[in-house]
C-alpha cells in the first residue's frame, strides 16, 4: 500500500484542482487546499474534516499566503507534494485590447501566486529534506496562440521560473512543470466555447493524473512533463 503523503494544492474550488483534491483524498492522502470560493471551501471542509485543511486564500496576496503557510508549518510539517494549480486566463482579445488591470491580475495569480506559495512553503520542505514542487503549466507555456498573449506570457514565465528553481534546490527535492493537456475546464471553455466539450472532464483527467503526479521523484528535477 502506498504511504500516506501530505499534498498541497492551490485552486481547489474549481476545475482540475477540485477534481484532483477528491482523487488524492480517495487514495488516502492528506490534503492542504486553498481557493477563493468560500462556499466551496466550506463544503470541502465538511466533506473532508481534519487532518485535511481548506482555507480561503488569494495566492497573489503574499500576506494571506504567508499567514496560511505559518499556520500549517509551525510544527515542522511540510507538504510532500506541492501543486501550484490556481490560474486564470484573459478574455480572448489581442494584447493591445486587454486592460492593464486584467493583465496585472492574471500575472498576479499565474506567476506571483506560485512564487508566493513556493517562498512560503519551500524553506520547511528544504529543512525536512524532501518534497516535490509541481507548477501546472500549459501547452501555451511552450507554444503560442492568438488572443491569449497574457496567458501565454504567464505560462512561459512559469516554465522559466521552474527550471531556474530546480537549479537552486538541494538533493532530495525537485521542481517540475506539468502540462495537463486539453481538459474541459472553464479556462478552455472561455477560449474554445462549445468545442471544449470534446475534451475529457476534470474528473476523467484526475483519474490518471493523480497517479502520474504521485510518481514524480527527485530524479525528474527541472523537467517539463506532460500528463500521458
What does the buried/exposed string (b/e) look like for 62-98 if buried means 16 or more CB atoms within 10 Å of the residue's CB?
eebbeebbeebbeeeebbbbbbbbbbbbbebeeeeeb
* List 151, 158, 179, 209, catalytic entry: 151
* DSSP track, 83-148: EE-----PPS--GGGS-HHHHHHHHIIIIIHHHHHHHHHHHHHHHHT-EEEEEE--GGGTS--TT-
**Residue 151 annotated in active site:** yes
Active-site residues: which are they? 151
Amino acid at each position: 500500500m502506498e504511504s500516506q503523503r501530505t499534498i498541497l494544492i492551490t485552486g481547489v474550488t474549481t476545475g482540475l484542482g477540485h477534481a484532483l483534491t477528491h482523487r488524492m483524498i480517495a487514495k488516502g492522502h492528506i490534503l492542504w487546499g486553498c481557493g477563493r470560493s468560500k462556499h466551496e471551501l466550506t463544503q470541502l471542509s465538511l466533506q473532508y474534516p481534519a487532518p485535511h485543511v481548506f482555507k480561503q486564500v488569494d495566492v497573489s496576496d503574499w500576506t494571506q499566503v504567508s499567514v496560511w503557510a505559518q499556520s500549517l508549518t509551525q510544527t515542522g510539517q511540510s507538504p510532500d507534494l506541492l501543486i501550484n494549480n490556481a490560474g486564470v486566463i484573459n478574455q480572448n482579445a489581442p494584447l493591445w485590447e486587454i486592460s492593464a488591470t486584467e493583465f496585472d491580475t492574471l500575472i498576479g495569480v499565474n506567476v506571483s501566486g506560485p512564487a508566493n506559495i513556493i517562498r512560503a512553503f519551500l524553506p520547511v520542505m528544504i529543512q525536512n529534506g524532501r518534497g516535490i514542487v509541481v507548477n501546472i503549466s500549459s501547452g501555451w507555456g511552450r507554444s503560442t496562440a492568438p488572443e491569449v498573449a497574457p496567458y501565454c506570457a504567464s505560462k512561459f514565465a512559469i516554465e522559466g521560473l521552474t527550471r531556474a528553481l530546480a537549479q537552486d534546490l538541494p538533493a532530495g527535492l525537485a521542481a517540475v512543470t506539468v502540462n495537463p493537456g486539453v481538459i474541459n475546464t472553464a479556462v478552455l471553455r472561455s477560449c474554445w466555447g462549445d468545442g471544449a466539450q470534446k475534451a475529457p472532464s476534470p474528473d476523467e483527467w484526475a483519474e490518471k493524473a493523480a497517479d502520474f503526479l504521485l510518481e514524480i521523484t527527485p530524479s525528474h528535477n527541472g523537467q517539463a512533463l506532460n500528463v500521458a
